[in-house]
């Protein structure tokens, strides 16, 4: 599939200083755009997490102003893993495509596993951010907490039970204010979300040149719908081909208007894109969008692990989180082996060479799951073909008893799953919620035909252009 079609069919899959201002705040929240012909929009997956920032407030006599603001961290994981981040195995409850190298994803998986098995309450605060500013009325302090359930997206689930709502209320966690979702709860979600980096020219301000804007998937879907509809208009069912390439804005540029609706009846109508044929391209704009590719690295390069870890550790309010296992030598961990929930946990602190540093073997017992097959289900240790008491060692995969304190083959030391690795030194430990077996959502069904990468009617279309 070409690059154009990758963009059109996306579904929930240097320094550039020339930033587009927030066009949604305009008196009329709309913008006429021309997309760069050489640099297509780029898909990025980002984790959102707070940070404390400060600046000189010129409106207040140059006093230092501090605020808690959001920071976006581009994930180190591949897109295929991130698109499947919420799919879990029906039997074990484990992720079908676990994280392989992103420290942020490892941490979120560790939190989710700890909640699932009851070692960590979903209402437990994990991080605390606090800023104080001097005002004419005296000091004003702002505090923001990030909870275990909030950071993995549990506060936004639609099937929340009455007991769960009561539990959140008793913990002082507010989900709705005046009947509307409260940002303080749902904004805690740090799971990776897909966005798109668009290099565009604003038709009303071409003198500003190519500007970079990061837009939600809804904008991408709206723009893709415009391109697809134009291609359909130019499709000849007799030849099963498009009659021209005018539909492709990267070959034959045309203006696309973006509109923002702050109060849509349907969420998918928040953004509406429209082809505006009466707006003609100028020589200035044509030169801009056909020129040198802009540098998007500021918005597409993965985050600096050292920077994120410093924020994590500075604001974390619980002890015992194995940061080294998430961040240490992360670049070399291309394919760490999961513990797969064999009922034992390798000794924490032995180092990443002794046991792969995954969320399943960092001090939290994972859900039990059957041991992998050995010699067609015949155990080489005891010869049993069923009800075998042995499991595979996490390091060498040779059979050991679940009750063994160490592996007799490689010497790996195990510790039995004990108390929660988190400490109540900073925050009182709430009663953990009952552990329920997770059931994976149904697997997505593959489309009957490739909607964009194949010509309409399922026939290859030679007019398809890489996107």
DSSP string for residues in 316-352: B-SS---HHHHHTTGGG-SSPPP----S-EEPTTS-T
CA distances from residue 425 to 124, 289, 417, 421 in whole angstroms, order as listed = 13, 57, 20, 12
Q: Sign of dihedral through CA atoms 206, 211, 215, 221?
A: positive
Phi, psi dihedrals of residue 391, rounded to the nearest 5°: -130, 165
Bridge partners of residue 133, in order along the sequence: 140
d(CA 77, CA 98): 10
Residues in CB range of 261: below 8 A, 6 or more apart: 29, 269, 270, 271, 272
Rounded distance between C-alpha atoms, residue 376 and residue 370, angstroms: 14
Distance CA 334, CA 159 (A): 35
The residues with which 457 forms a beta bridge, in sequence order, are none
Query: Residue ranges of the domains in the chain?
Result: 1-44+194-321
Nearest by Cα to 281 from 304, 255, 309, 319:
255
From the first residue on, what is the mean pLDDT of each consecutive set of 10 residues in the chain (467 residues)? 48 56 94 96 95 85 87 94 89 86 94 93 95 88 94 88 90 76 76 96 96 95 94 87 88 96 89 95 96 93 93 94 84 38 28 31 31 37 48 57 58 40 34 36 33 29 41
DSSP character at residue 12:
-
pTM above 0.85, yes or no: no
Q: What is the pLDDT of residue 362?
A: 33
Report the sign of the C-alpha dihedral through residues 188, 166, 265, 182, in that order.
negative
H-state helical runs in 234-304: 283-289, 297-300
How buried is 347 (Cβ within 10 angstroms: 0-12 exposed, 13-18 middle, 19+ buried)? Answer: middle
At residue 124, the pLDDT reads: 95
Element (H, E) at 165: helix 162-170
Gyration radius of the chain over CA positions: 26
Beta bridge pairs of residue 131? 142
Structure tokens at 21: 């201002």
Spatial contact of 280 and 272, defined as CB atoms under 8 Å apart: no
Dihedral sign computed on CA atoms, order 370, 376, 381, 382: positive
CB-based burial, 209-228: b 16+ in 10 Å, e otherwise: ebbbbbbebbbbbbbbebbb
At 130 the three-state DSSP class reads strand
Length, in residues, of the chain: 467
Can you tell me which residue has the tokens 């959502």? 441
Contacts of 90 (CB under 8 A, 6+ apart): 439, 440
């Amino acid at each position: 599939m070409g690059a154009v079609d990758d963009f059109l069919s996306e579904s929930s899959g240097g320094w550039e200083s020339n930033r587009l201002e927030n066009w949604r705040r305009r008196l009329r929240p709309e913008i006429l755009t021309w997309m760069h012909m050489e640099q297509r929009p780029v898909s990025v997956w980002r984790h959102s997490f707070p940070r404390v920032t400060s600046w000189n407030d010129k409106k207040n006599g140059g006093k230092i102003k501090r605020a808690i603001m959001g920071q976006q961290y581009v994930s180190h994981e591949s897109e295929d893993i991130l698109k499947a981040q919420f799919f879990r195995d029906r039997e074990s409850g484990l992720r079908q495509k676990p994280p392989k190298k992103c420290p942020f994803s490892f941490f979120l998986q560790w939190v989710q596993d700890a909640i699932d098995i009851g070692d960590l309450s979903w209402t437990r605060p994990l991080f605390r951010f606090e800023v104080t500013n001097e005002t004419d009325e005296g000091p004003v302090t702002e505090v923001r907490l990030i909870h275990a359930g909030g950071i993995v997206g549990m506060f936004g689930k639609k099937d929340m039970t009455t007991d769960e709502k009561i539990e959140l209320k008793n913990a002082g966690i507010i989900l709705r204010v005046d009947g509307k979702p409260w940002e303080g709860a749902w904004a805690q979600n740090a799971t990776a979300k897909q966005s798109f980096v668009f290099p565009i020219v604003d038709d009303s301000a071409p003198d500003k040149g190519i500007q970079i804007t990061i837009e939600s998937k809804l904008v991408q879907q709206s723009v893709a719908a415009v391109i697809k509809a134009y291609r359909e208009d130019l499709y000849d069912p007799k030849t099963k081909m498009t009659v021209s390439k005018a539909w492709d804005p990267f070959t034959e540029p045309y203006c696309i208007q973006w509109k923002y609706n702050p109060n849509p009846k349907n969420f998918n109508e928040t953004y509406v894109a429209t082809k505006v044929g009466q707006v003609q391209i100028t020589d200035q704009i044509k030169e801009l969008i056909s020129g040198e590719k802009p540098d998007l690295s500021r918005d597409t390069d993965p985050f600096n692990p050292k920077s994120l870890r410093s924020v994590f550790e500075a604001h974390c309010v619980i002890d015992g989180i194995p940061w080294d296992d998430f961040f240490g030598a992360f670049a070399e961990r291309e394919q760490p082996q999961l513990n797969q929930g064999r009922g034992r946990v390798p000794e924490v602190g032995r180092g990443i060479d002794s046991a792969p540093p995954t969320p399943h073997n960092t001090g939290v017992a994972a859900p039990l799951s059957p041991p992998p097959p050995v010699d067609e289900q015949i155990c080489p240790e005891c010869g049993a073909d069923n009800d075998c008491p042995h499991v595979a060692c996490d390091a060498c995969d040779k059979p050991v008893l679940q009750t063994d304190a160490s592996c007799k083959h490689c010497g790996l030391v195990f510790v039995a799953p004990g108390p929660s690795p988190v400490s109540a030194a900073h925050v009182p430990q709430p009663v953990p919620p009952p552990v329920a077996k997770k059931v994976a959502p149904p697997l997505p069904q593959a489309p009957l035909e490739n909607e964009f990468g194949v010509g309409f009617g399922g026939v290859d279309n030679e007019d398809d252009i890489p996107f």
